[in-house]
Amino acid sequence: MSDKEKKRPEWTPKDPQEGFTTSVMGGIHSSHDGFFDEHAQKKTFHRRKKLTLDDYIQGVLERDRTIMARAITLVESNSTKHRKTADELIKALLPNSGHSVRIGITGMPGAGKSTFIEAIGNLLCDNGHKVAVLAVDPSSSLTKGSILGDKTRMEKLSTRSEAFIRPSPSGGVLGGVARKSRETIIICEAAGFDVILVETVGVGQSEITVRSMVDFFLLLTITGAGDELQGMKKGIMELADAILINKADGENKKRAETTKSEFNRILHYLQPATPGWHTKADTCSSITGFGIDSIWKVIEAFLKHTKNSGFFEERRHTQAIDWMKAMIEEYLKKIFYEDDGVKEVFEVVKDAVRTGEITPAAGAQQLIQAFERDTE
């Protein structure tokens, strides 16, 4: 029996006609899935090369997208063994960072944040800019997983050589910003991207976390989705440097103009987020492109104003201190929960709080005392 006959299913006709298309093809060797080594009689898999610190540094500075992605994965890692290399990487890249404009973009679900970023990102690339998008997806409070679908919603932008899109899970962090977003910004800036767009989950007043790491904060909203002014948190409006009513096209354009007037009336009475800058509302359509170039002109005017007043550098210095505080808090939280004394009593205390045997305050005090005993 020939090899070809052996491969045919037993139910195949002995003399199949030309129209009978069922056949069995021989397997193919793929370097992705490994290959069969006839001499070793085992399947061999290719492993990615382990990068050294110098490999990471050189790859980022050369804007190697694969190494950039791996560098960001490194700084996002919760592994203790990765932390030292990540810290050294950020330290080495820091002198090459800081030369971009950092823009935070937030808004209610359905406001069209990803579509807007696609529109303004393409505009900026057309004008000679290099754009990095940090699109932060919400993590599930149950599974801790994220969909990370932003890249698929920016089809054209994701194919451009002048753009880099990095979807990251928020990990449940306050404000919807990935825990290592600051380090990711440093990596993108060192790679030569001069505009950093940080898309956030949009979860209310906790967006102050975003404000602490960007230069310009844009609030994206829509009209026709209920009472916008009633649903909009005053705290977010006070953080914004501009408010943009998206989807101002077709029959909705007139309503968007009305909403714009209502926002501007309220903004007149609010404390501006940036001293000397008057926050205003405007309209745009990410689909037709209407108003996209106008908001970039607003951002350019904002940069000119803040740099002339000295507030741009002052805000960057304040953000550096905020970054330091955040890292201290992260470290203290880590060593607290990893402390042997705390781990020893944690489950008992947690059960006592859950059943109402002790109050949450008393439970916290017991854990703190266990930690203090271990560190004396």
Task: Name the residue ranges covered by the structural domains of the chain.
Answer: 48-96, 97-309, 321-375
pLDDT in tens, 309-319: 999 999 999 99
CATH class of 48-96: mainly alpha
Rg of the chain over all Cα atoms, to the nearest angstrom = 27
Task: Read off the tokens for 127.
Answer: 């004008």
**What is the structure's pLDDT at 36?**
46
**What is the structure's pLDDT at 29?**
47
pLDDT band at residue 33 using 50, 70 and 90 as cut-offs: very low
For 213, half-sphere exposure in the C-beta direction (CA atoms, 13 angstrom radius) is: 27
Q: What is the 3-state secondary structure (H, E, C) of the chain?
A: CCHHHHHCCCCCCCCCCCCCCCCCCCCCCECCCEEEECCCCEEECCCCCCCCHHHHHHHHHCCCHHHHHHHHHHHHCCCHHHHHHHHHHHHHHHHHCCCCEEEEEEECCCCCHHHHHHHHHHHHHHCCCCEEEEEEECCCCCCCCCCCCHHHHCCCHHHCCCEEEEEEECCCCHHHCCCCHHHHHHHHHHCCCCEEEEECCCCHHHHHHHHCCCCEEEEEEECCCCCHHHHCCHHHHHHCCEEEEECCCCCHHHHHHHHHHHHHHHHCCCCCCCCCCCCEEEECCCCCCCCHHHHHHHHHHHHHHHHHHCHHHHHHHHHHHHHHHHHHHHHHHHHHHHCHHHHHHHHHHHHHHHHCCCCHHHHHHHHHHHHHHHHC
Whether domain 321-375 has CATH 3.30.200.20: the reply is no
**What is the structure's pLDDT at 357?**
96
Give the Cα separation of 370 and 325 in Å (integer).
24
Count of other CB atoms within 10 angstroms of residue 331: 11
CATH class of 97-309: alpha beta
Mean pLDDT of 248-256: 92
Check pLDDT > 70 for residue 4: no
pLDDT band at residue 153 using 50, 70 and 90 as cut-offs: low
pLDDT in tens, 47-82: 678 899 999 999 999 999 999 999 999 998 878 888
Mutual angle of helices 80-93 and 181-190, in 10-degree steps: 40
User: Cβ distance 57 to 89 under 8 Å?
Assistant: yes
pLDDT in tens, 84-134: 999 999 999 999 999 999 999 988 778 899 899 999 999 999 999 999 999
**What is the structure's pLDDT at 138?**
53
